[in-house]
Amino acid sequence: MTISTHVLDASQGVPAAGISVTLSRLEIGWLDVESGVTDADGRHRFLAEAPAGTYCLTFATGAYFTARAVRTFYPEIAIMFTIVAAEDGTPPAHSHVPLLLSPFAYSTYRGS
C-alpha cells in the first residue's frame, strides 16, 4: 500500500508547495519511514510500501510560513492515522491524507 498527501494553503487559496513532510510508523516507538517535500501542486507521494498499522505525517509548517513572512500558531502539524487491513488481511491499495492549512487553523480528512 502507498500513502500520499496534498497540502492546500486555505488562507491564500493555493497549493502549499515546499513543505517538508515525514512519514513515520508506530512500532515500539515512532520509526521514520520516509521524508519528502510537497511539489508545486502541494502534493507528495511516498514511495515506501506501508503495511497495515498506525502512521504519522509530520508537516514542517513553521518553515513554510516563515518563508512567507507570516506568523503562525502551528510550527509543526502531526496527523496520526491507522491503516486497517481488510478481513482477508490485505491492506487498501492507497491512502490519501489531505491537509487544509492556514496560520491559525488546520483540518484534515481521509481522502480518496
Domain residue limits at 9: 2-108
Split into its structural domains, the chain has a count of 1
Compute how many other C-beta atoms are within 10 angstroms of the C-beta atom of residue 101.
25
Residue 111 and residue 45: Cα distance in Å, rounded?
A: 13
**Spans in the chain with pLDDT lower than 50:** none
- For residue 100, give the CATH number of its domain: 2.60.40.180
SS3 for 49-97, per residue?
A: CCCCEEEEEEECHHHHHHHCCCCCCCCCEEEEEEECCCCCCCCCCEEEE
pLDDT given for residue 52 in this prediction: 87
pLDDT, residue 82, reads 93
The HSE-up count of residue 54 (CA atoms within 13 Å, CB side) is: 8
pTM, two decimal places: 0.93
The pLDDT value given to residue 69: 96
